[in-house]
Chains A and B, each alone.
Chain A
Amino acid sequence: MNFFSELGKYLLLMKEVFTKPDKARVFFRQIFIEFQNLGIDSLGIVIIISVFVGAVVAIQTAYNIDSPLIPLSMVGFTTRQSIILEFSPTMISLVLAGKVGSRIASEIGTMRVTEQIDALEIMGINPANYLIQPKVVAAVIINPVLIIFSMAFALFGGWLACVITGMVTSTDYITGLQGWFDGYTVFYALIKTSVFAFIITSVAGYQGYQTRGGALEVGTASTKAVVHSCILIIIFNLILTQLLLV
């Protein structure tokens, strides 16, 4: 029962969020600020995680292939498939749910408990639209860009690991990377990413917006934002995979 009442409240809030912005110029300026806050500020952590996980995936794949019948270029191929299909879109989105989700929930939650949201409303502004819409729109656009960076750096990390350990030659790895490539997998990954970006920002926005009380409740809202969006990402990952790949 609780779940359905939360879902209802979430949908009602989304109805307010997706209305026409009061001032187009202000809206576009906000989007660019969010590109910075949500996108460029996350680039560092995305690159670091991607390089290391890419390296680990490549090493584990190489380690598991010990049959002389399987060519070593399979390492490049398998690494590429795992990274594009699953690691970059899903795992990086989970990381972003932690980083971006908690940031949004605590920012909006603080505005709620310090009456800044009331102040917006008094001025005749729709606070849900003003605060949440630019974040959702910006993340849905910028997260796929982050994921493309993540893919590139993860594949580079894999190459680095192969070359440094000497388990696979550079030529083999690159041959594998280029083999049997289907552009649809990238499309699938980016669609997933955008859906996850919507989940992260709208759930965090909802949690922040619902906050009542004080600093303690802001903390709770931020934790809930992360936990709920992670669970939703996992569930939608399964649904989208069924819909788009099978």
Chain B
Amino acid sequence: MIEAKKINKSFGEHQVLKDVSVAFKQGKTNLIIGQSGSGKTVLMKCLVGLYGIDSGEILYNGRDFSRMSFRQKKAIRQEIGMLFQGGALFDYMTVEENIMFPLVMFGDMTLQKRKDRVNFCLQRVNLENANKLMPSELSGGMIKRVAIARAISLNPSYLFCDEPNSGLDPQTANLIDNLISEITKEFQITTVINTHDMNSVVEIGDNIAFIYKGELWWEGNKNTILKTENPEINEFVFASELTRKLK
């Protein structure tokens, strides 16, 4: 479980996060939703320590991450996998080298063990035999899948995904969502997902936190979100003609 308590974060004069308190549960896909610019990415980057926070606490299974020394953080970082919006694959490395990279830097596995682990991860994201391809040779969906494979190569306890299906066609987006959801259940990972995609919300929204202008506005799940009376939520959920018709 990851708990954020009263997180505040400003860039200069601009306060992006205001007293955000939210908990993310193990073995569940926890969604952070909200409009573009509402502060989802900033919240996620605060959670993983890419941005420092101005005040508040971030607890990883009770361990206070925000007050840790660099070395202690490093230990927790090895339990964290992250899927970046654009994939962030190392573009001078093959698919195999990308996935193997965390294993080389932090494991003491033999080469054969590392190769086995790479193949296992690739298989898990349905990309057998892509080992020798370069990132520039991959489609958008494949990049995301390789990035997932890299994120899970060290068997993380925590998985962060920033807009995992942005820029993908609806079918591929769905596939990625389901993949993340399956992996979360299978390995009992605490997964946090940023999204503004309503399909993801109704498909994999085990827990949902709605961020509005930098504040935690509403919490619930994929069932309660369709029934709530909260006007800002409704505006977000039923933004398109299609969803209004479905309602």
B90 within 8 A of A: yes
Evaluate contact between B104 and A119: CB separation under 8 angstroms: no
Return B39 CB to nearest CB of chain A, in Å.
17
Return B195 CB to nearest CB of chain A, in Å.
17
Return B103 CB to nearest CB of chain A, in Å.
11
When A26-B105, A114-B88 are in contact, do A119 and B82 touch as well, CB less than 8 Å?
yes
Evaluate contact between B104 and A23: CB separation under 8 angstroms: yes
Q: Residue of B at shortest CB range from A110?
A: B91
Distance, CA A124 to CA B45, complexed state (A)? 14
When A123-B77, A123-B78, A124-B77 are in contact, do A118 and B88 touch as well, CB less than 8 Å?
yes
Chain B facing A: main interface SS: mixed
Distance, CA A125 to CA B104, complexed state (A)? 12
Point out the residue from B74, B78, B90 that lies within 8 Å of A116, measured CB to CB.
Answer: B90
Q: Residue of A at shortest CB range from B154?
A: A123
Return B74 CB to nearest CB of chain A, in Å.
4
CB neighbours (8 Å) of A125 from chain B are: 105
B85 within 8 A of A: yes
Distance, CA A211 to CA B90, complexed state (A)? 17
A41 within 8 A of B: no
Distance, CA A123 to CA B153, complexed state (A)? 11
Evaluate contact between A121 and B50: CB separation under 8 angstroms: yes
Q: Mark A124-161, 1 if CB is under 8 A from B, else 0.
A: 11000000000000000000000000000000000000
Residues on A close to B: CB < 8 A?
22-23, 26, 110-111, 114-116, 118-119, 121-125
> Other than the known A116-B91, A122-B81, A122-B82, what 6 A-B pairs have Cβ atoms closer than 8 Å?
A110-B91, A114-B88, A114-B91, A118-B50, A123-B102, A124-B75
Residues on B close to A: CB < 8 A?
45, 48, 50, 73-75, 77-78, 80-82, 84-86, 88-91, 101-102, 104-106
